[in-house]
Amino acid sequence: MIAVPPSLPPTTELATKAQLVARYPHLLSVNRVTWALRCRAVNGLSAAVFDSPCGELLIHEPSFLAWFLGLSGRAKPRASRRAGAG
């Protein structure tokens, strides 16, 4: 029997980048997800990304969507308007 690390979520909640973009085409693009995965050490997304044995990254879908929508770990205040604009 294969030992599964306790921190690994259920496989039904894991998706590849292509699967995630295909499920939410109105919300996500390949470029957005690629950027988020590439910068995951800085943007707070590293806990939601796992390496698969075949070398592809697996994304924990609920954690990624919560992060993407700003519900967890993505403190991004709005930029103030420039003086003289508008």
Phi, psi of 38 (to 5 degrees): -65, -35
Tokens of 30: 């390949």
Q: In the prediction, which pLDDT does 78 show? A: 45
pTM for the model? 0.74
Q: 2 pLDDT exceeds 90? A: no
Residues in the chain: 86
Q: 9 pLDDT exceeds 70? A: yes
pLDDT in tens, 35-82: 999 999 998 899 899 998 888 999 999 999 998 888 876 555 444 456
Tokens of 5: 């690390």
Mean pLDDT along residues 18-35: 94
Dihedral of the alpha carbons of 86, 26, 46, 77, in degrees to the nearest 10: 20
**Residues sharing a CB contact under 8 Å with residue 43, sequence separation 6 or more, in sequence order:** 36, 67, 74
